[in-house]
A and B are shown apart, each in its own frame.
Chain A
Amino acid sequence: MLQIDTWKRVLIWLVCVTGLLMALPNAFYTRVEQSNDAKAAIELGIDTPEMQADAEQWPNWMPSSLVNLGLDLRGGAHLLAEVQVGDVYESRMEAMWPEIRDALRDERATIGTIRKQPSDPDEIRVRISEPAGMPRALEVVRGLARQVQTLTGVGATDIEARAEGDTIVVQLSDAEKLASDDRTVRQSLEIVRRRIDEVGTREPTIQRQGTDRILIQVPGIGSAGELKEIIGTTAQLTFNPVVNRGTDADAVPGIGESLVPSLDEQGLFYMIESAPVVTGEELVDAQPAFDQNGRPAVSFRFNTSGARKFGDYTRDNVGSPFAIVLDDEVISAPVIQSHIPGGSGIITGNFTVEESTNLAVLLRAGALPAGLEFLEERTIGPELGQDSIDAGKVATIVAFVAVLVFMALSYGLFGLFANIALIINVGLLFGLLSLIGATLTLPGIAGIVLTVGMAVDANVLIFERVREELKSAKGPARAIELGYEKALSAILDANVTTFITAVILFAMGSGPVRGFAITLGLGILTSVFTAIFVTRLMIVMWFERRRPKTIEV
C-alpha cells in the first residue's frame, strides 16, 4: 500500500530544505552580493567600518552562494580572440639562427662558406658553397635538435632539416609546432588574465576555447573596445642595435636586419638588427615615472641575466644609438651615453600620463607571445541587462501564477500538492544553480519559465493515470499507487529524451545557449524529483491523516 519508510521521508524533506536554503540568498541578491564583496575585501586586508557594516548585512552561518548573472543580464564585454600561434614560429627561427650559424661555421672545412637566404618567416634557408658537404651540414644542424615531449611521437625532435640542392632548409617539426601552439595559447591565456587582474575588474571569465582561442568576458566594463585596449596589444618590448635611420619606407633590409617605423615621428624609419639584445621577458618591474624634464615616462628594471646583457652591450657600444622597440615600432632610439651597469633605466617618448601607466601595466604583465585576432566582440550595456532582468522577473512570476491557478482549477487538492511541489522545484533549481556556481543568462531565464510550464507534466501524467485507475473502481489507495507505478515509465522516458537534448545543447552550445541548457537540464532533474518523491510524499501524508473513502482528482 501507500507506505514510505521514515528515513526516506526525512531524506526527501532534508533535500527540499537544503535546496531551499541554498536558494535563499538569491532572494536578497544585492544585499548578499554586497556582503560577499565586503567579506572578500576584509580578507584582503581592507578593513573599514563601512566594509564591516556591509559584511554584516548577511549572517555568516547562512549559505551565501549566488547564481552568477551572465553578461547579457549584468552588462559588460565579451571577446573571442584567436591566438596567432604562427607568430611564434618566426621568433623561434630567429632565435635559432645564431646557433645554426655558429655550428655550421665550425664545419667550414667540409661545407665551405655559408650564406643565409631570404625565406618564409617560419623557416631558415642556408646556402653552402660546397654541396658535397651537405650530409655533414645536415648532421650538424640535426644535432642541434632537442627532444620534444609528446603523447604520441616518441623520439620526435623540435626541428627538421632537409636539403634542397645546395640549400639547407630548417623548420619546426609538426610535433614541435603542436607543442608550441599549446604553450603559446596557455601563455597568452595567463598573460591576458594578469593584464585583466592588473586593471582589477570583478569576476572576469577567461577561458581557453578549442585549440587556439581565448574567450574573455568581463562584467561591468564599459565596452569591448576598452577591453581590447588592455589585452589587445602584444607589448613585445625589445632593445635592438640600430644600423641606421632614414626616411625611405622602401629601404631593403639586409640579412638579419629589419626596417621598423618610428612611433611618434611620421616618415622616420630605423634599420635595426632583428636579433634583440634584451627583451621585455627579462624585465622584473616597470612603473610609470617622469623623466628629468617632467614628461611621463616608464621606468624599468631587468633581472640579473638581462642586466648583464644590457650592461655588456652598453659598455661596448658607447656612442651608438639603441632602439627601444614596442610591437614593431620604435618608441625611441637614444644614443648610449655611458655604460649602464645596474640593469635599470627609463623609456621616454611622447607619452601621456595614461599611456605611460598603460605601458607599465603591459610590460609588467609580460608580453603576449603572439598576436590576438578578435573574432567576436559583444558589449552589453548595464541598462539593457537590468531591463532584461526586470522583464524576466515579471514574466516568470506571471507564468508561475498562471500555471499555479490552472493546476488548482484542474486538479483541486491534488493540484495544490503539485503547486507546492512546483514552488519547491523552482527553489531547488535555484539552489542547484547557486551550488554549482552556474551562470544565469536571459535564455536561462527562458529555460526556467519553460521548466515551470513543463515541470507539472510529470504530475499531470500521474494524476491523469490516477483518474483512469479510479474509473476501474479500485479503492483510492490502490488507484494512487497504481497511478504512480504506471505513469513512471512514461515520465522517465519522456524526461530522459528531453535531458539528452539538454546535454547535447550544453556540449555544443556556448555562452547564453549554454545557460539555457543548464537551466533546462537541471530543471528536468528537479522536476522529476519533486514529481515522483515530493508530491507523492505529500499525498501519502494527507492520505494517512484523512483516510478518505473516495477521492476526486
Chain B
Amino acid sequence: MRLKLVPQSTSFDFFSRWKLWLGISGLMMVIAFTSFMLQGLNFGIDFRGGTTIRTQSAQEIDVGMYRDAIAPLELGDVTITEIFDPTFGPNENVAMIRIQAQEDAEAVEASTISAVEAALAGAVPDVKFVSVESVGPKVSGELIQTAVIAVVLAIGAVLVYIWLRFEWQFALGAVAALVHDVILTIGIFSELQIRFDLAIIAALLTIVGYSLNDTVVVFDRVRENLRKYKKKDLKEVLNISINETLSRTVMTSVTTLLALISLYVLGGDVIRGFVFAMIWGVIVGTYSSVFVASTILLWLGVKRDWSKPPNTSGNQFANVDA
C-alpha cells in the first residue's frame, strides 16, 4: 500500500475564482507592506550596526539584574532577551544583549564591549560570553545595499532566464510570484518582529530559488500541454497542467518541509530565524506558483501560435541522453 498524499488523478478547478485569488494575494501583499512601513523590520546588528553579546550562565537569568548592571554605562538602547531552546542543557541559561551602535563611532568600540563584559561579570559571577559580535555603522550600511542588490539581481537573472526559455508572459508570471513571496516573507518578519539579519537575506534568495523551482515545473508542463492540446483554451490547459503536477508539487514540498522542520526544532536557536524564513517561503512559494504565477499567466494570455516544430523550441535539453 503506497502512501499517497494526492490521489492518482485530480481535476480541481484552480481558476474558477481566479480574480478572488489574485485579490487575496494582493491584499496579503498590501498587509505585509503596511506592516513593514508601520513597524519596520527588527534589524539585527548586521544591518544597523551595534553589538550583540551572547551570555551563558548556570545561574537563572534575571533580565532586570542584567539591565541594572549595564544601565550605569549609558549605552543608549540596550535590548536584553532570554533565549529558550529545547537543545539547551539544564544549566544552560542563555541571554542575548544587543547594544545600539554608539554615536559618532565609525569603528567598533573595544572599550564599550569590555566595559559591558566587566559590568556583567560583576553582577553574575559565572557568566560566560560565548559570542560577541560587533558591526560598525559603515559596514552595516553597505551590507543592506549589497543585500538589496543581491535580491534584485537574482530576480532579474531569473526573469531573463525564463524569458529565454519560455515566453515573456511566463517570465512576468514567475517574477510576480517571486516578488509576492519576498514581500510576504518580509511582511511576516516585520509583523512578528523576528530579528532580520544577513542570514535572512540568504533565506530570501533560497525562497526565490525554491518558489521558482516550483513555478518552472508547472510552466514546463503548461508549455508541453499547450502544444498537446491545441484546441483547448488556456484556462483549461493551465488547470490540466497544475493537476498533473500537483502530486509532485505536494511531494517535494513535504520532503523539503520535513527536512526544514527537523532543522527548526533540533538545529538550535542560532539559525532558527533563518529556518523559519525558509519554511514560510516553501509554503508561500508553493501557493504562489499556482495562485500567482499561473493566474498571472492566465491573465496575460499566451501566444498560442506554436508554429515552430514542437520538439525544438525551448525543449532542447530533453534529448540529452544519460
Binding site for B on A (CB under 8 A): 4, 8, 72, 80, 82, 223-225, 228, 373-381, 383-384, 387-388, 390-392, 394-396, 398-400, 402-403, 406-407, 409-412, 442-443, 445-446, 449-450, 452-454, 456-457, 460-461, 464, 467-468, 471, 484-486, 488-490, 492-498, 500-502, 504-505, 508-510, 512-513, 516-517, 520, 532-533, 536-537, 552
Do residues B254 and A489 form an inter-chain contact, with CB atoms below 8 A?
no
Q: Do B217 and A490 touch across chains, with their CB atoms under 8 A apart?
A: yes
Task: Tell me which residues across on chain B come within 8 A of A508, comparing CB atoms.
Answer: 146-147, 149-150, 153
Cα distance, A479 to B2, chains bound together (Å): 19
A453, B254: Cα distance in complex, Å: 8
Stretch at the interface among B35-43, B66-74, B297-305, B313-321: B313-321
Which residues in A have their C-beta under 8 angstroms from that of B54? 384
**B residues 260-277 in Cβ contact with A at 8 Å:** 260, 262-263, 265-268, 270-271, 274-275
* Most B Cβ at <10 Å: residue of A80, A224, A380, A453: A453
B136 within 8 A of A: yes
Q: Is the CB of A450 within 8 A of B256?
A: yes
**What are some 29 contacts across the A-B interface (CB < 8 A)?**
A223-B132, A225-B113, A379-B129, A391-B87, A391-B268, A394-B266, A402-B259, A410-B251, A411-B2, A446-B278, A450-B256, A450-B278, A453-B255, A460-B248, A460-B251, A486-B318, A490-B220, A494-B213, A497-B209, A497-B212, A497-B216, A500-B154, A500-B161, A501-B157, A504-B153, A505-B150, A508-B146, A512-B198, A513-B199
Assuming the contacts A8-B322, A392-B268, A399-B259, asked whether A375 and B107 have C-beta atoms less than 8 A apart, the reply is: yes
- Chain A residues near B129 (CB, 8 Å)? 379, 381
Chain B residue with minimal CB distance to A380? Answer: B131
B201 at the interface (CB under 8 A from A): yes
Residues on A with C-beta less than 8 A from B205 are 501, 504-505
Verify B2–A412 contact, CB threshold 8 A: yes
Tell me the dominant secondary structure on chain A's binding face.
helix
**Is B128 a contact of A375 with CB atoms below 8 Å?**
no
Residues of chain B whose beta carbon lies under 8 Å from any beta carbon of chain A: 2-5, 8-9, 54, 56, 87, 106-108, 110, 113-114, 128-136, 138-139, 146-147, 149-150, 153-154, 157-158, 161-162, 165, 198-199, 201-202, 205-206, 208-210, 212-214, 216-217, 220-221, 224, 244-245, 247-248, 251-252, 254-260, 262-263, 265-268, 270-271, 274-275, 278, 314-315, 317-320, 322
**Chain B contacts of A536 at CB under 8 A?**
322
Instruction: Check if B252 sits within 8 Å of A454, measured CB to CB.
Output: yes
Contact A395 B266 (CB under 8 A): yes
Pair A407/B255 contact, Cβ less than 8 Å: yes
- Chain A residues contacting B216 (CB-CB under 8 Å) are 490, 493-494, 497
> Which A residues are CB-close (under 8 A) to B322?
4, 8, 484, 532-533, 536-537
Closest B residue to A410 by CB, please name it.
B3
In the complex, A90 Cα to B149 Cα: how many Å? 36
Q: Do B318 and A403 touch across chains, with their CB atoms under 8 A apart?
A: no
Q: Return chain B residues, CB-CB under 8 Å to A471.
A: 8-9
Residue in B131, B150, B214, B315 whose CB lies within 8 Å of A509: B150
Query: Please, how many angstroms separate the alpha-carbon atoms of A399 and B254 in the complex?
Result: 12
Please judge, given known A-B contacts A391-B266, A494-B216, whether A450 and B206 are in contact too, CB under 8 Å.
yes
Contacts of A412 in B (CB 8 A): 2
Q: How many A-B residue pairs have CB under 8 A?
A: 258
Q: Given A395-B263, A395-B267, A498-B209, are A376 and B136 also a contact pair (CB < 8 Å)? A: yes
What residues of chain A lie closer than 8 Å to B135, measured between beta carbons? 375-376
B240 to chain A, nearest CB (A): 12
User: Is there an interface contact between B317 and A489, defined as CB atoms closer than 8 Å?
Assistant: yes
Q: Which of B8, B260, B268 has the most CB of A within 10 A?
A: B268
Question: Complex: how many Å from CA A112 to CA B245?
Answer: 91
From B108, B128, B252, B275, give the contact of A446 (CB < 8 A). Answer: B275
Q: Residues of B contacting A383 with CB < 8 Å? A: 56, 128, 130
| CB contact under 8 A between A377 and B133, given known A80-B139, A509-B150 | yes
| Contact flag A399-B263 (CB < 8 Å), given A460-B248, A508-B153, A533-B322 | yes
Are B209 and A460 interface neighbours, CB within 8 A? no
Check if B134 sits within 8 Å of A377, measured CB to CB: yes
Bound-complex Cα distance A457 to B247 (A)? 11
A490→B320 CA distance, assembly (Å): 13
Q: How far is the CB of A212 from chain B (nearest CB, A)?
A: 12
Q: Choose from A402, A442, A486, A500 the contact partner of B157 (Cβ within 8 Å).
A: A500
- Separation in Å of the B129 CB from the closest CB of chain A? 7
Name the one of B128, B221, B258 contacting A406, with C-beta atoms under 8 angstroms. B258
- The answer to whether B252 and A456 have CB atoms under 8 Å apart is yes
Residue of A378, A392, A489, A510 near B134 (CB, 8 A) is: A378
Q: Are B158 and A500 in contact (CB under 8 A)?
A: yes
The residue in B108, B275, B315 that gathers the most chain A C-beta atoms within 10 A of its C-beta is: B108
If A509-B150, A517-B202 touch, whether A504 touches B157 (CB-CB below 8 Å) is yes
Give chain A nearest CB distance to B13 CB in angstroms.
Answer: 20
| Contact present for B217 and A494 (CB under 8 Å) | yes
A403 to B256, CA, bound (A): 8
Contact B220 A493 (CB under 8 A): yes
B50 CB to closest chain A CB (Å) equals: 11
Q: How far does the Cβ of B99 sit from chain A's closest Cβ, in whole Å?
A: 13
Residues in B neighbouring A454, C-beta threshold 8 A:
210, 213, 252, 255-256
A410 and B274 contacting across the interface, CB-CB below 8 Å: no
| Minimum CB distance partner of A401 in chain B | B262
B318 contact set on A, CB distance < 8 A: 485-486, 488-489
Q: Which residues of B contact A82 (CB under 8 A)?
A: 107, 138
Selected contact of A453 from candidates B136, B146, B224, B259, CB within 8 Å: B259
How many Å from the CB of A78 to the closest CB on chain B? Answer: 8
How far is it, in angstroms, between the C-alpha of A378 and the C-alpha of B257 when the chains are bound? 32
* A538 smallest CB distance to B (angstroms): 12
Output the nearest chain B residue to A553 by Cβ-Cβ distance.
B2
Residues of B within 8 A of A517 (CB): 202
Q: What is the minimal beta-carbon distance from B177 to any residue of chain A, in angstroms?
A: 12
- Best-surrounded residue of B150, B210, B213, B247 (most CB of chain A within 10 A): B213
CA distance A225 to B53 in the complex (A): 14
Report how far A517 CA is from B132 CA in the complex, Å. Answer: 24
The docked-state distance in angstroms from the alpha carbon of A464 to that of B220 is 14
B residues less than 8 Å from A4 (CB atoms): 322
Q: B217 contacts which of A8, A380, A387, A461 (Cβ < 8 Å)?
A: A461
